[in-house]
Chains A and B, each alone.
Chain A
Amino acid sequence: MASISLDGIGKSFGRTRVLKRISLDIRDGEFLTLVGPSGCGKSTLLRIIAGLELQDEGSVRIGDRAVDGLPPKARDVAMVFQSYALYPHMTVERNMAVPLVMRRLGALQRMPLVGRLAPGTERMRASIAADVRKVALALGIEPLLARKPGQLSGGQRQRVAVGRAMVRQPAVFLMDEPLSNLDAKLRVSMRAEIKELHAKLGVTFVYVTHDQAEAMTLSDRVDLMIDGELVQIAPPQVLYNDPDHVNVAAFVGSPSINLVQATALSEWLASAVRWAGDAGNLDGVTIGFRPERLSICNEGTAGSIAGRIRLVEHLGADRYVHIDIARTERPLIVRTHPHDGPDLAPGATIALQAEPKDMLVFDAAGRRLRKRPCDATEILIARSSA
């Protein structure tokens, strides 16, 4: 029904370039998530798709139409806002009816009192009320229809906002951090509901979030934006396992990836991994280890890095061990099962091991180095299997 295609979208506010020639194709029915640090332009991009903001260059297509000249209401998109943007002076029912009233009734029919007399108004109003009720039932907010938004909890408001977007059956749903005002528990359950909603409606969703758990669980593809540019667009698993950029690696994953300056590991790299001997190569290079890809072993194990336990956090199913190693400021975090490995107590000296294939290496500009200066992988594999 409606794919979205952005072609070279650029936008500046005054001197600041907020979006830098963004091109992006979103498939019909896809759930695409935009993530990125605050101020990177996610909301701006969403508003440009909705027609609420005018881009300086580039064009937007929704379905097979170029929509650049169309006002927001003609674009067949609905939007759910972080603040929900419910009309505080209207009841939930009227809030949800507004998009239908504005579309189905003529200017005359919408007028108070006089409108009632216009032909067909009654029938039209009844059908709108029925549609609203149907959506309200589906979302479980039917008992709230007579209330004003001020009398609702955060979660209920969120549902009403979704309901108002749903009633008009748009081809595209745009959601700008719709869950970020909810408490953690509610956020998890609403997340599941949004996923179901997408499955049920089958229309295109563009979803902006700060929360990487939302991004990872909901999306068909995640699009990481930094400073007005797309850094990587990929399915969540790819983003996690095979990031193109250090920022992607840092953004995805919790606890977040351990990033270590390669210079701090130069000896280990030289001995255990057999990094190319020239230490100059390591300048600015960053190496990332996912917490679950590090393992703890006894001190002195061959090919390991010596460290000292700073802190052990028990999270029930998991255990996070913070380990200081030489020449790094922050401890590395290792994720282990509670019963794995030796006894771990703060202050104990232990050692860390890592598989070279699990190392994510980034150059000074943050770009991923897939081909390392010296391909040490094989060497290490040979060693550990020996």
Chain B
Amino acid sequence: MARHLLLLSSAALLLGPLVWMVSLSLKPPGEIFRASFSLLPEQWYAAENYMRALTVAPLPRFLSNGVIVCLTILLCQILICAPIAYALAKLQFRGRDAIFALVLVGLLLPHQVLALPLFVLCWKLGILDSYAALVLPFIVSPFGIFLFRQFFKSTSDDLMHAARLDGYSELGIVFQIMLPLARPAVIAFSILSITSHWNDLFWPLIAIRTEELMPPALGVITFRNEEAGSDYGPLMAGAAIILAPLLIAFLAAQRWFVEGLMLGSTK
């Protein structure tokens, strides 16, 4: 009993801010500024707030930017990391250990530290303020290489040999044998990659100025700055719209999310 009491109250504290946000997003301005508080509005104003949020700022655009950028990053990461991970796991060649050491060094570097040179790089390439700038710095992931290498290493050599005898090319082995076998790792990695880039604010803040190109995290604070102070209802509605996709995805696929994020902690 005590257990439920404690856990329910901590859960209430944790959900409080989100519940409060939703509550405000349902209320008309008059009720928001009233001194007494209640969870549910007296006068339902949800439709107005959410419509307002969607028309004032390109929220759907932010979300679709997020989807485009995250999926492009993920696709590039898999296309680039899987072959090198396979080479590191299964092929013998000179310099292999040195390259793996390089991957480990990459794993050690926090991305914020690299922001400055990467900004200069994107500037020189003339891709600042474009999708390319959002994607380019992340198309290779040392963690992805590391993770896939671990997985590929654990597959039996026999399987690779059988594939060679059957006529697969090395690239075919990577993408048609190894990757499907490493499916749990691929899913976990995908979730880790998507959540971290969906939520990332630091790099988009540096790389993007144009509102139409902003991913969700950056978009929502631009929206906030434009709406500042006055219109709490639509602002909360906007924040809720930005928060919803990941939270819903998490609740729908908890097990995968937990696995993916736990994997990330060993980074």
A residues at B contact (CB < 8 Å): 47, 50, 52, 71-73, 77-79, 81-89, 98-99, 102-103, 164
Q: B164: which A residues are within 8 A, CB to CB?
A: 52, 71-73
Q: How far is the CB of B160 from chain A (nearest CB, A)?
A: 8
Do B180 and A81 touch across chains, with their CB atoms under 8 A apart? no
Do A79 and B162 touch across chains, with their CB atoms under 8 A apart? yes
The one of A47, A77, A88, A99 in contact with B167, judged by C-beta atoms closer than 8 angstroms, is: A99
Do B165 and A52 touch across chains, with their CB atoms under 8 A apart? yes
> With the chains together, A83 CA to B157 CA distance in Å?
10
Chain A minimum-CB-distance residue to B183: A89
> With the chains together, A89 CA to B179 CA distance in Å?
10
Do A89 and B167 touch across chains, with their CB atoms under 8 A apart? no
Do A87 and B159 touch across chains, with their CB atoms under 8 A apart? yes
Chain A minimum-CB-distance residue to B172: A102
Please tell me the number of chain B residues within 8 Å of chain A, measured between CB atoms.
15
The one of B156, B165, B168, B181 in contact with A79, judged by C-beta atoms closer than 8 angstroms, is: B165
> With the chains together, A303 CA to B177 CA distance in Å?
68
The one of A50, A82, A83, A89 in contact with B165, judged by C-beta atoms closer than 8 angstroms, is: A50
> With the chains together, A315 CA to B131 CA distance in Å?
78
Q: B167: which A residues are within 8 A, CB to CB?
A: 73, 98-99, 102-103
The one of B158, B177, B180 in contact with A83, judged by C-beta atoms closer than 8 angstroms, is: B158
> With the chains together, A31 CA to B168 CA distance in Å?
28
Q: Does B166 sit at the interface, judged by CB under 8 A?
A: yes
The one of A52, A87, A89 in contact with B161, judged by C-beta atoms closer than 8 angstroms, is: A52
Q: B180: which A residues are within 8 A, CB to CB?
A: 89
> With the chains together, A78 CA to B167 CA distance in Å?
11
Q: How far is the CB of B177 from chain A (nearest CB, A)?
A: 6
> With the chains together, A82 CA to B157 CA distance in Å?
12
Known A-B contacts A83-B156, A85-B156, A89-B180; the reply to A102 vs B161 at CB < 8 A is no
B residues at A contact (CB < 8 Å): 156, 158-159, 161-168, 177, 180-181, 183
Instruction: List 14 other contacts, CB 8 Å, given A47-B161, A73-B164, A102-B168.
Output: A71-B164, A72-B164, A73-B165, A73-B166, A78-B165, A79-B165, A81-B161, A84-B158, A85-B158, A85-B159, A89-B181, A89-B183, A99-B167, A103-B167
> With the chains together, A81 CA to B166 CA distance in Å?
13
* Residue among B156, B164, B167 facing the most chain A CB atoms (10 A cut-off): B167
* Residue among B156, B158, B159 facing the most chain A CB atoms (10 A cut-off): B158
Chain B minimum-CB-distance residue to A74: B167
* Residue among A77, A85, A88 facing the most chain B CB atoms (10 A cut-off): A85
Q: A88: which B residues are within 8 A, CB to CB?
A: 181
Q: A72: which B residues are within 8 A, CB to CB?
A: 161, 164-165
The one of A77, A78, A81 in contact with B158, judged by C-beta atoms closer than 8 angstroms, is: A81
> With the chains together, A50 CA to B180 CA distance in Å?
26
Q: How far is the CB of B163 from chain A (nearest CB, A)?
A: 8
Q: A87: which B residues are within 8 A, CB to CB?
A: 159, 162-163, 177
Q: B159: which A residues are within 8 A, CB to CB?
A: 83, 85, 87
Chain A minimum-CB-distance residue to B161: A52
Q: B168: which A residues are within 8 A, CB to CB?
A: 98, 102
> With the chains together, A84 CA to B164 CA distance in Å?
14
Known A-B contacts A85-B156, A88-B181; the reply to A50 vs B161 at CB < 8 A is yes
> With the chains together, A79 CA to B162 CA distance in Å?
7
Name 22 A/B residue pairs within 8 A (Cβ), A-sorted: A50-B161, A52-B161, A52-B164, A52-B165, A73-B165, A73-B167, A78-B165, A79-B161, A79-B165, A83-B158, A85-B156, A85-B162, A86-B162, A87-B162, A87-B177, A89-B181, A89-B183, A98-B166, A99-B166, A102-B168, A103-B167, A164-B166
Q: List the 10 closest pairs (A to B, CB-CB), nearest first.
A: A102-B167, A85-B162, A85-B158, A73-B167, A81-B158, A89-B180, A99-B166, A72-B164, A52-B161, A72-B165
Q: How far is the CB of B174 from chain A (nearest CB, A)?
A: 14
Known A-B contacts A73-B167, A102-B168; the reply to A81 vs B162 at CB < 8 A is yes
> With the chains together, A206 CA to B163 CA distance in Å?
20
> With the chains together, A235 CA to B215 CA distance in Å?
74
Chain A minimum-CB-distance residue to B164: A72
> With the chains together, A99 CA to B167 CA distance in Å?
6
Known A-B contacts A85-B156, A85-B158, A85-B159; the reply to A77 vs B181 at CB < 8 A is no
* Residue among B159, B163, B166, B177 facing the most chain A CB atoms (10 A cut-off): B166
Known A-B contacts A87-B177, A88-B181, A89-B181; the reply to A82 vs B158 at CB < 8 A is yes
Q: How far is the CB of A79 from chain B (nearest CB, A)?
A: 6
Q: How far is the CB of A14 from chain B (nearest CB, A)?
A: 11
> With the chains together, A71 CA to B167 CA distance in Å?
9
> With the chains together, A72 CA to B167 CA distance in Å?
8
> With the chains together, A80 CA to B166 CA distance in Å?
12
Q: How far is the CB of B208 from chain A (nearest CB, A)?
A: 35
Chain B minimum-CB-distance residue to A103: B167
> With the chains together, A140 CA to B200 CA distance in Å?
56
Q: B163: which A residues are within 8 A, CB to CB?
A: 87
Chain A minimum-CB-distance residue to B156: A83
Q: A84: which B residues are within 8 A, CB to CB?
A: 158
Q: A83: which B residues are within 8 A, CB to CB?
A: 156, 158-159
Q: A89: which B residues are within 8 A, CB to CB?
A: 180-181, 183
Q: A103: which B residues are within 8 A, CB to CB?
A: 167
Do A85 and B161 touch across chains, with their CB atoms under 8 A apart? yes
> With the chains together, A98 CA to B13 CA distance in Å?
57
Q: B165: which A residues are within 8 A, CB to CB?
A: 50, 52, 72-73, 77-79, 99
Q: How far is the CB of B154 from chain A (nearest CB, A)?
A: 13
Chain B minimum-CB-distance residue to A102: B167
Q: A79: which B residues are within 8 A, CB to CB?
A: 161-162, 165
> With the chains together, A198 CA to B130 CA distance in Å?
65
Chain B minimum-CB-distance residue to A98: B166
> With the chains together, A264 CA to B166 CA distance in Å?
57
Q: How far is the CB of B257 from chain A (nearest CB, A)?
A: 23
> With the chains together, A147 CA to B156 CA distance in Å?
21
